[in-house]
Amino acid sequence: MAGGTSVPAAYLRMSYDRFLSFLPKENILVVTLSSYAEVLRSILPDIPKENLLLEPYARQTAPCMAFAAYTLLRRDPEAVIIASPSDQIIRDEKLFVSTVTDALAYVQKENVLMTLGIVPKTPDVNFGYIQVKEGKNAYLMDRPLKVKTFTEKPTLALAEVFVRTGEFFWNSGIFIWKAATIIAEMDRYLPEVTELFGGWQTGLDDPAWLERAYAECPKISLDYGVMERTERAWLYPAHFGWMDIARL
């Protein structure tokens, strides 16, 4: 997910190359604003044209995911998605790949919505936190954990409590799920988005159809619209070094 000109070219290229290290080029889609298309093509000249999904308007991550998921469902009804922002730094890419592939293996067997949860080193009020049900030793675990609560950017005092408990993780914004599962949950919790994509089987090829769908789409995030409400939310602990470049 490449939001536009706010993402420096070097980070977008690093993000693309990170996934290219373990996925074929044909399986990597980039979603960005249509106004950013030419800039993106100059940064990623090797991306297949059909894998560049151009949004007419910025509508946050839920419509972005609907666009990508419907595109993949049309190609493969069994498609599994690794959804990642393009503006993150990963310190240990080998560990990143192994974490993602382990989580991916679980998602291929279960109809869950998985997020990678970063094990926090210090209390930080700039990140969202996810609590899991496994309790105080959750941060030591290397397996899927059931999500209990989400808290968006707490106070410092609350963040200190979160880190001490061992059962809270930073929300990385990296998700793994089957395309069919995320669409089913969006149908349940965000019908105001998915209803606008009615006729996607043929409409995705029509720029005018996409323009109309996006013009009426609400601006809403996946976290707020789905993850904080679904019963299918799970978390995979991530121990690789991680940073959102907005914090630099």
Q: How much is the pLDDT for 161?
A: 94
The answer to whether 85 touches 174, Cβ cutoff 8 Å, is yes
Residue in 179, 175, 184, 153 with CA at minimum distance from that of residue 222: 175
Domain locations in the chain as residue ranges:
9-247
Q: Look up the pTM and report it.
A: 0.93
pLDDT on residue 113: 98
pLDDT of residue 135: 85
- Distance CA(173)–CA(185), nearest Å, equals 17
State which fold the 9-247 domain adopts. Answer: Spore Coat Polysaccharide Biosynthesis Protein SpsA; Chain A (3.90.550)
In the chain (248 residues long), the average pLDDT of successive 10-residue segments reads 73 93 96 92 93 95 97 97 93 95 97 96 92 90 95 94 94 96 98 96 95 96 95 96 73
Q: Which of 144, 76, 138, 80 is nearest to 106 (CA)?
A: 144
Report whether 165 contacts 136 (CB < 8 A).
yes
Q: Is residue 128 helix, strand or coil?
A: coil
pLDDT of residue 209: 96
pLDDT number for residue 2: 86
Mean pLDDT of the chain, nearest integer: 93
Q: Distances in Å between the alpha carbon of 225 and those of 13, 33, 201, 230?
A: 29, 21, 24, 9
Helix (H) or strand (E) segment spanning residue 171: strand 168-178
Say if residues 129 and 169 touch (Cβ distance below 8 Å).
yes
Q: Tell me, what DSSP letter sits at residue 198?
A: T
